[in-house]
Amino acid sequence: MKLTDVKAIVTGAAQGMGAHFALRLAQAGAQVAAGDVKEEGLAELKARAADLPGTLHTHHLDVADEGSCAGFVAWAAESMGGLNSLINNAGILRDGLLVKKDRTTGEIITLSKEQWDAVVAVNLTGAVLMVRETVATMARAGTPGVVVNMSSISRHGNRGQSNYTAAKAALAADTVTWSREFSRFGVRVGAVAPGMIETPMTIGMNQRARDALVAAIPVGRIGVPEDIWLAVKFVIECDYFNGRTIDVDGGLSF
């Protein structure tokens, strides 16, 4: 698919990678429906896109809410005069060891169900809802298209991220499942799995942990959103790519 033909939803678009994807699409002349719970960030994004060749539409979106997902997709299709792409980017972190011992008291502490539920609600259930509503809209209109899921290299397993790992591993597996289910509608499904990327979610990391992580990346640096955009762009443009996940992590080895 040519970027100039894209009519895409981008979730989690108020900041970080989502904002970068939305702007890069608009720069290429695409139409973009950008959604997020952070409406101030969406307003800033819309202002940044004002003079770009494409058109950027913004609207509140809470992917953890089924009604919000359905309403957003309907609004996006109407605003753009159709819909043929989804960049399933929205995500949160609520890291913590599943079971740990307090260093001071020796007390055994467990990951709360609230931490688990919050991450699964946004990173997995929300992603599933957005795919369901978007692909149903494409299928009803007879419009071929593409879904790009944002997984993570954490799907291979990462200490302190039981919730995030579970969600991102499931999303990578569903990418294969959906590529098979949606082929009858002419809809491809691919995934991109970022490693450590410089975003508002990661910028506040403990410096010691950050330095240790960089030391484990063979290219010697943390990634930037543009690195991930190049992979997303490939999935959108390559009509033969389907049902696979691309790791973009600088060769990181946990």
Q: Does residue 250 belong to any structural domain of this protein?
A: no
Whole-model pTM? 0.94
| Residue 203, pLDDT score | 72
d(CA 182, CA 83): 15
Q: Does residue 64 belong to any structural domain of this protein?
A: yes
Decide if 164 is catalytic: yes
Q: Does residue 68 belong to any structural domain of this protein?
A: yes
What does the pLDDT look like over 37-86, one tens digit per residue? 999 999 999 999 999 999 999 999 999 999 999 999 999 999 999 999 99
Q: Structural domain of residue 21, as residue ranges?
A: 3-244
Checking if the pLDDT of 190 tops 80, the result is yes
Q: Does residue 253 belong to any structural domain of this protein?
A: no
Q: Does residue 111 belong to any structural domain of this protein?
A: yes
Edge-to-edge strand ranges of the sheet holding 7-11: 55-60, 31-36, 7-11, 85-88, 145-150, 187-194, 245-248
What does the pLDDT look like over 128-140, one tens digit per residue? 999 999 999 999 9
- Residue 68: how many CB atoms within 10 A of its CB? 18
CATH number at residue 201: 3.40.50.720
Q: Does residue 141 belong to any structural domain of this protein?
A: yes
Q: Does residue 80 belong to any structural domain of this protein?
A: yes
∠ Cα 155 36 205 (to 5°): 50
| Residue 254, pLDDT score | 57
| Residue 204, pLDDT score | 67
Q: Does residue 196 belong to any structural domain of this protein?
A: yes
According to DSSP, residue 154 is labeled G
Burial of 92 (0-12, 13-18, 19+ CB in 10 A): middle
Q: How far apart are the first and last CA of the chain?
A: 35
Choose the catalytic residue: 21, 164, 182, 229.
164
| Cα Rg, the chain, nearest whole Å | 18
Task: Tell me what the mean pLDDT of segment 230-246 comes to.
Answer: 98
Count of domains in the chain? 1
Q: Which residue is listed with tokens 């790791």?
A: 247
- Considering the chain, what is the average pLDDT of its residues? 95
